[in-house]
Structure 1
Amino acid sequence: MTSSPQPRAAVSQIPPYVAGKPPVPRPDLTTYKLSSNENPYPPLPGVVEAACGAVQTMNRYPDMGNTALYDALSAKLGVPTDHLALATGSVALIYQLVQAFCDPDDEVVFAWRSFEAYPIAVTAAAARMVRVPVLADGRHDLDAMAAAITERTKVVLVCTPNNPTGPAVTQAELDAFLAKVPPHVLVVVDEAYVEFVRMTDPVDGVATYSAHDNVLLTRTFSKAYGLAGFRVGYAVGPAPLAGALRAVSLPFGVSAVAQAAAVASLEREPELLERVEALVKERDRVVTGLAEAGWTVPEPQGNFVWFELGERTLEFAQAADEVGIVVRPFAGEGARVTIAEDEANDRLVTLVGEWVTGSRG
């Protein structure tokens, strides 16, 4: 007998989430945070004003029905409001869907390496992880993922574009995969970076979920919309699936300020998409610069690039820190680097050129 309360055994097995490290201010150099895939642009005009307006009623609970935001998303996507579920970022939706659909020891299949919150959410629910290695080019091995599905599988997570490696799944690939998945298995298409995709045959998430009873999309306002500090994500899926997420959601989870900012951002989406397009062009410029420097990265479809570095990952991260850019290292594997301000990106390309030639590192 223990002498104090003990958490469930699974709790001690939960891997910690490692957030992107902020840069240390330096008097001699402007430093940049390239470790969290944040949007480098400030809020759009009107968004701060909407958020400040909501602050005036902070003594009141937010609208638990999220009516204004549900209506705005319904209009934007052309879906019924009961096909939507909100949460504090798309990561919260991942936690909720594992909680809602998995009993202890049920299996959740996902690619690896992929979003590092997946193992946390699965372990917290006492479910079992089935990690399928990504291909050499950083893409999902969907054939292997389909083969990994067993009678214990309840959920499959498809991260597209894949964080942190970068490539995205095509519609043809996703359709072929879905044809192999049993109808009782929930397929979650995690589209946190969907706004940045520029490729042939991109996934049409809304059309895909509309054609399947077992497909759910997760999206976020944190990346393209630049609301990372407010934590707003949403799921889109058939009414029974979206309803299950709402049933296990935290009451009043999305704050009134966050809702106001999200609605205002949707109203200004044309301006926002101009910024997204600028980031995509900057991403292309960085990829070209890296190639000219002698380094090829997996095809990036998000707002970041991936460096396969193996045992030299932490060495690279330290070298980046020395030139005033903070990257996100995954020890022994590689580093993810956000497309950010032009100056930060220039430093990255220069650093990689020195790394390749051996003049640094």
Structure 2
Amino acid sequence: MPSSTAPPPGDWLAAAPGAVQAVNRFVEVNRPPEADSASLCGEIGRYYGLPRDAVLVGPGTASLLHGIVARHAPAGGSVVFSEPSFFLYRWLVEAYGLTHRAVPLRDYRHDVAAIGAAITQDTRLVLVDSPNNVTGTTISLPEVRALAQRLPAGAVLVFDNVYGEYAPERIESDFGSTIGSGLPIVICRSFSKARQLFGLRVGYLLGAPSLLRAVGPRVLRYDVSGPAQAAAVASMQDEESMRRNVRLMAAAVEEAAALLGAQGFRVVAGHAGSVLIDCRERGPALPDALRSAGCDVRSDHPGLPDHVQLLISDHTTVGRVRAALRSASLTGAT
């Protein structure tokens, strides 16, 4: 991932100071981590007003998603997801030999009606990333619950909300009622994004305890390291650091989108730490210039030809966008 060799300034995203201190103070490397991340599960449960056994912590959300797909794979069946979405969905489904039903986005958003129509009696999983990993657009919890009502017996909907803190809609207060609704919904969240603990690999699922036991991934007792657990607990206790990161990311996305929009590019300034750029009318000059300027740019997303996703990778990204616009001979980039 392109980045400056200089340390990030004080006005850029960072882990909670207490989380960094917790890692630096951790010296008992010869001892096992706390089994089943019990204290961390309790801290997360208190944050959302849920019992501890409604929380399942694992070594990153990607690992948890892998575990869910692996647990359902022996029964066969199909998996429904939008496309583009988190690339791991298709990769995991194909790796386990499951059938997939990929539903195209509509106007860069999940087509909820089409997702519902794709659910059949052989559906085992529905994977919904909101904010969407590529476009950053969202769907509401009532829409998620409506989709879950269409599931056949034994199927599960995974609401992949790892970028959820970046979204302007504060939906956490509805997590409890969603989990308590009796619908087969599992909510996926992460410490890697707004809480900036990516290198420690901590993610978690929220769900009805009976549902997590029946369909959740198999997480071993010591899968999450001691330093990772300690840092995550400290992070949960520092709400302001997380909210500061959210504000900084929103400002960077808005500034990058404004620079591009001022040059006539259609952009989707979503809530997943990136800007999606429509380059269909302008050709490859901008993507090439962004890459040359050191921006983290991704393309080849299914269903979005001639679009590129600009990731806000670090504190230098907006400046690199300005440089790319100048080098592509687009006026007004100052």
Interval containing the TM-score (normalised by the shorter chain): 0.7 to 0.9
Contact 2:41 2:52 in 1 (8 A): yes
How far apart, CA to CA, are the structure 1 residues paired with 2:158 and 2:24? 34
Contact 1:109 1:149 in 2 (8 A): yes
Q: Deviations over 1:189-208 (max 9, x none)?
A: 00010001015989944432
Q: Give how far 1:335 is off.
A: 2.3
More moved, 64-73 vs 122-131: 122-131
| Closer/same/farther in 2, CA of residues 194 and 46 from structure 1, 3 Å limit | same
| Closer/same/farther in 2, CA of residues 81 and 314 from structure 1, 3 Å limit | farther
How far apart, CA to CA, are the structure 2 residues paired with 1:356 and 1:217? 45
Whether 1:262 and 2:235 are equivalent positions in the alignment is: no
Match of 2:317 in 1: 344
Match of 2:222 in 1: 252
Match of 2:81 in 1: 110
Q: How does 1:1-361 map to 2 (within 5 A)?
A: 22-23=1-2, 30=4, 41-54=13-26, 56-135=27-106, 137-182=107-152, 184-199=154-169, 204-244=174-214, 248-309=218-279, 316-330=286-300, 332=305, 334-349=307-322, 351-352=324-325, 357=330
| Closer/same/farther in 2, CA of residues 253 and 317 from structure 1, 3 Å limit | farther
How far apart, CA to CA, are the structure 2 residues paired with 1:300 and 1:126? 32
Contact 2:190 2:204 in 1 (8 A): yes
Gapped regions of structure 2 (runs ≥ 5) = none
Matching residue's letter, 1:301: H
Q: Give how far 1:126 is off.
A: 2.6
Q: Give how far 1:50 is off.
A: 0.5
TM-score by structure 2 length?
Answer: 0.86
Matching residue's letter, 1:103: P
| Closer/same/farther in 2, CA of residues 191 and 320 from structure 1, 3 Å limit | same
Give the 3-state SS of the residue equivalent to 2:34 in structure 1: coil
| Closer/same/farther in 2, CA of residues 230 and 297 from structure 1, 3 Å limit | same
Contact 1:139 1:165 in 2 (8 A): yes
Gapped regions of structure 1 (runs ≥ 5) = 1-21, 33-38
Give the 3-state SS of the residue equivalent to 2:266 in structure 1: coil
| Closer/same/farther in 2, CA of residues 205 and 283 from structure 1, 3 Å limit | farther
Q: Percent identity?
A: 28
Q: Deviations over 1:207-228 (max 9, x none)?
A: 3232233011001000001011
TM-score by structure 1 length?
Answer: 0.80
Give the 3-state SS of the residue equivalent to 1:261 in structure 2: helix
| Closer/same/farther in 2, CA of residues 134 and 356 from structure 1, 3 Å limit | farther
Q: Deviations over 1:109-168 (max 9, x none)?
A: 000010011122222333222111111x21111111111111110110111000112111
Q: Aligned residues, how many?
A: 326
- How large is the RMSD of aligned CA atoms in angstroms? 3.1
How far apart, CA to CA, are the structure 1 residues paired with 2:12 and 2:313? 6
Contact 2:253 2:269 in 1 (8 A): no
Q: Give how far 1:345 is off.
A: 1.1
More moved, 191-200 vs 234-243: 191-200
| Closer/same/farther in 2, CA of residues 158 and 355 from structure 1, 3 Å limit | farther
Q: Deviations over 1:214-267 (max 9, x none)?
A: 011001000001011111000001112222466622441111111111011111
Matching residue's letter, 2:324: L
| Closer/same/farther in 2, CA of residues 132 and 40 from structure 1, 3 Å limit | farther
How far apart, CA to CA, are the structure 1 residues paired with 2:233 and 2:279? 41
How far apart, CA to CA, are the structure 2 residues paired with 1:76 and 1:283? 28
| Closer/same/farther in 2, CA of residues 153 and 247 from structure 1, 3 Å limit | closer
Q: Give how far 1:105 is off.
A: 3.2
Contact 1:164 1:306 in 2 (8 A): yes
| Closer/same/farther in 2, CA of residues 40 and 88 from structure 1, 3 Å limit | farther
